């Protein structure tokens, strides 16, 4: 894919996979619009860009309907065209299902799923008018199966697969492509920022996460998958074998899964 001068809206661009994708796409000549809750963190991302003049910033809180509406309006006023929408924002979980409050679950669902919908609707309608566009959604292995301490997080990621698989069928003939990306272990702060049962960040780094591939390498794998026009694909290290085992040997997979460390 030729990213030169493509307008790319990256949700979750202040850190991790989203930040690395924004940096990589801008390096290839793309104009990136950076969004997350923290304006100062977005400005930090902007300073790391090869072409900072080919970028913009829109502060956005995925748990706040008013903030989302304002972000859509700001994008329309400042940038109009949208060639690629990347959803990489969200939050994880480290708590037992029976000890997780409804408020914590609602926060996870808003951050990871519900908050995306108005942005996706806005972008998809513009892409249909253009007869061209891509929507890239970063989900998780837990979008394919549940795991210890991830009940609400897994629910939010499963929801993404159901929603975007359905949307793809509805709009693919209008020239809009949807790519679902399922990362394995990526060395980001996602586990540190994960919520406990009361909705507070745990501040703890998982060993699996720490041993994962870098966010920059993950971004390169994602761009390769987009180049190959894959509708759904995994990114990560040796743990990608789990996707194959899950598909072809489900009973064996369940036995293996139960022996894995929750952290």
> pLDDT tens per residue, the chain (263 residues)?
899 999 999 999 999 999 999 999 999 999 999 999 999 999 999 999 999 999 999 999 999 999 999 999 999 999 999 999 999 999 999 999 999 999 999 999 999 999 999 999 999 999 999 999 999 999 999 999 999 999 999 999 999 999 999 999 999 999 999 999 999 999 999 999 999 999 999 999 888 888 899 999 999 999 999 999 999 999 999 999 999 999 999 999 999 999 998 88
pLDDT recorded at residue 16: 96
CA geometry: angle at 124 spanning 159 and 133, to 5°? 110
Show me where the domains of the chain are located: 7-257
- State which CATH number among 3.40.50.300, 3.40.50.720, 3.40.30.10, 3.40.50.20 fits the domain covering 7-257: 3.40.50.720
* Active-site residue flag, 153: yes
pLDDT recorded at residue 208: 82
Candidates 75, 122, 153, 164; catalytic one: 153
pLDDT recorded at residue 205: 85
pLDDT recorded at residue 249: 97
């Amino acid at each position: 894919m030729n990213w030169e001068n493509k307008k790319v809206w990256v949700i979750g661009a202040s850190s991790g996979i989203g930040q690395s994708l924004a940096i990589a796409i801008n390096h290839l000549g793309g104009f990136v619009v950076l969004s997350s809750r923290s304006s100062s963190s977005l400005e930090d991302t902007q300073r790391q860009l090869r072409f900072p003049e080919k970028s913009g910033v829109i502060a956005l809180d995925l748990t706040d309907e008013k903030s989302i509406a304002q972000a859509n309006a700001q994008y329309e006023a400042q940038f109009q065209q949208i060639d690629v929408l990347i959803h990489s924002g969200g939050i994880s979980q480290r708590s037992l299902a029976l000890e997780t409050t409804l408020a914590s679950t609602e926060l996870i669902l808003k951050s990871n799923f519900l908050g995306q919908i108005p942005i996706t609707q806005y972008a998809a309608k513009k892409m249909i008018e253009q007869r061209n566009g891509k929507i890239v959604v970063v989900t998780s292995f837990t979008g394919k199966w549940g795991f210890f301490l991830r009940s609400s997080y897994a629910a939010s990621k499963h929801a993404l697969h159901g929603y975007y698989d359905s949307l793809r069928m509805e709009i693919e003939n209008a020239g809009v492509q949807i790519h679902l990306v399922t990362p394995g272990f990526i060395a980001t702060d996602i586990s540190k920022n994960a919520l406990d049962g009361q909705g507070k960040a745990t501040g703890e780094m998982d060993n699996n996460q720490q041993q994962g591939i870098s966010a920059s390498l993950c971004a390169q794998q994602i761009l390769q998958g987009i180049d190959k026009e894959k509708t759904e694909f995994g990114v990560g290290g040796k743990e990608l074998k789990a996707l194959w085992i899950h598909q072809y040997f489900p009973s064996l997979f369940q036995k293996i899964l139960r022996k894995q460390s929750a952290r």
